[in-house]
Structure 1
Amino acid sequence: MDETLVVASGIGRDFPDGTAGRTTVLRDVDCAINSGARIALVGPSGSGKTTLLHILGGLDRPTNGQIEWPGLGPFEDLRPRWIGFVFQSPSLFPALTAAQNISLPMILAGELSSADRTAALLLDTFGLDELADKLPEELSGGQAQRIAMARALAIGPKLILADEPTGQLDSVTAQLFFDTVLSHLENTGIALVVATHDEAVAARMATRWTMEHGRLTLQSLQTGAS
């Protein structure tokens, strides 16, 4: 039976707009994420996708409404243990090598004995072995994003939230990258939510969430996911 990992009820988020007013980014959003979910979060730039991901992952709090993580435990345990993030902008630690960036969540969680072995395995999985000792400044944008995905997977979280993970990859490389991610997640029960403008990526997910003007609509797809 699927486990409910995250539940959002009536959440809204607004921010100061610099003129003593406020800009509303999310409006009355209701959604839930179950274990094993494959969700594409689509919509135009500025529609609220990134803000929603940050709230679902506990990086931001809603202005109103309620967000809970019934399948993930207390808030303080969400990261790095149970939620892995892949951000839209570069997020690797510049002083750490690619391998060290991947192993960092495991070290923070106290799993030192298997950190190096897991990093090496994920570098091999993503075909990035030759980058193990490279610093982020020596990586292309696409390579950095693949390292960031490997880092998100390293500790075996229950949920991966990825913001445009293929945005810096060409279409062929993006599909090969996504092949690897989906294969790695198969039969694990790990849920995956991907904010994307890439229709080829979105079409492979079982559920589509569409953001428009801060509002969310949900659609389960019967075909197209693989």
Structure 2
Amino acid sequence: MSRWNNLNTNEEIQRLKREAVLREAGQAFGRKGYHNTSLDDVARALGISKGTLYNYVRDKQEILFAFHQLAYDLSDRAFAFGRAQGGTGAEVLRAILAHYIELLTGELGACGALMEVDALRPEDRAEAARRRNAFEAAFVAIIEDGIADGSIRPVDPKLAVFTFMGAINWLPRWYVPGGRLTGNEVAEQMTDLLMSGLTVAAARAGKAARLPGSSARAPAA
């Protein structure tokens, strides 16, 4: 249970308590699903009345939109991180993907509510679509940079983005915080799998393995 009554009573009280609501709601959505979770459930978990909860959120749809906004804020942070690392297009893309997955599994717990796009209000859904389109366009541009510098093999950039974002967007369906794999382990292994289909080196290795008489094993010393 979130420590609602232990928060400091200072000028940041409204923000802190709203964040507590969002965290508890995210955990509840993960346990029971968005449509099966009520604001009564969230209030009960926080140990407050539903009336008090309305001081911080007006309804479930506001919470849902806040999660979507936060997810895109995390994507902005991941892009800033990847670009700061520099390197080839493939290196920048790898850094972005790994960091984004780490942030999703860490700060959002890969919240299942992110799958509930259709439950958003029309105006909120339009804003989420605008940010999603900008997110996808930024990924396309990085893949195009990688193709141009030779670190990413020639692929349809938009199809590549749809492919790996489909895998990442499915995270909320199976990732369990505190489960068999940590968020960092999931990020590392997923990124390796996703990048193996895009990088030139991996493509060459795969082609060599398919050549007659070739072997995937290293030659004997």
The answer to whether the superposition gives a TM-score over 0.5 is no
Q: Higher strand fraction: Structure 1 or Structure 2?
A: 1
Determine which structure has more spread, i.e. the larger CA radius of gyration: 2
Structure holding more helix per residue = 2
TM-score, normalisation: structure 2 = 0.25
TM-score, normalised by the number of residues in structure 1: 0.25
